[in-house]
Amino acid sequence: MNAPAGDKRIPLGVVSTDPIRTEGLLSIFDGHPDIQAYSAELRTLLEGDTLRFILLDVSTTDTWIDTLFFVRRLRPDIRQIVLGPSTDEEIVQRSIIAGGRAYLDVCCEPEQVMMALEAVLQGSIWAPRRTLSKLIDRLLVGSTTHRKDQFGKLSRRERQVLDRILEARSNREIAEDLGIEERTVKAYVSSLMRKTGVQNRVALSMLAVHDATARSQEFRSL
């Protein structure tokens, strides 16, 4: 499913099994100049090729983690803003590992939803800073300080690839954007993981976000 035709705003898919909550979430974005929110069944939303952001209410299901992994597997380019039953650190960490770029308590205020979405639109992860740091510790092996220092040793092209990874772009999208072969992008990703000492793309993204926010001190936390 594509965004409503003729609307130039950023499409945001809203998914909830509760009709009243769906209407409430949609109302947050009424009149927003840059965001067009609309609702549909999750599978229907994932059928399109233009949607890049989903506000996903998983507060009423015990299989929420499977839902996040399902979206990530089927559409890795989509950034998920998750509304869940609790902001317990373990739940937030599991959500981010599964593909969530933001995690909010389902009872949060509309202003928090907007702030989280704005952070995700800018390529950041919305989560408590302490939780983010603990997640990095779980994903990494050995000295985090040593690996953060490696970001200063990246080549210009590696930095370009890393910036696009933080934008949740696929290897194909990165290749098209930079005008290089997809296999070349894969080689750069492998080089980035080797230089930073991480084992997977999620850990690479998390470490890069942590490094960038530590330098700028502009990271927002709940």
> pLDDT tens digit string along 85-126?
776 777 887 888 788 888 888 888 999 899 889 888 877 788
Angle formed at CA 132 by CA 157 and CA 46, multiple of 5 degrees? 70
Superfamily (CATH) of domain 10-126: Response regulator (3.40.50.2300)
Looking at residue 71, the DSSP 8-state letter turns out to be H
Q: What is the pLDDT of residue 184?
A: 94
Largest distance between two CA atoms of the chain: 51
Instruction: Spell out the domain ranges in the chain.
Output: 10-126, 136-216
Instruction: Enter the tokens of residue 29.
Output: 């974005």
The 10s digit of each residue's pLDDT in 38-94 is: 999 998 998 877 888 999 998 887 888 888 888 888 888 888 999 987 767 778 878
The 10s digit of each residue's pLDDT in 2-52 is: 555 566 889 999 999 889 999 999 999 998 899 999 999 998 998 877 888
Give how far Cα 90 sits from Cα of 80, 85, 131, 135, Å.
18, 12, 8, 9
Token match 């954007």: residue?
A: 177
Between 195 and 54, name the one with better pLDDT.
54
Identical fold for domains 10-126 and 136-216, yes or no, is no
Q: What gap in Å lies between CA 39 and CA 97, rounded to an integer? A: 25
Which of these CATH numbers, 3.40.50.300, 1.10.1370.30, 1.10.10.10, 1.10.4080.10, describes 136-216?
1.10.10.10
The strands making up 79-84's β-sheet, listed across from edge to edge, are 35-39, 10-15, 53-57, 79-84, 100-105
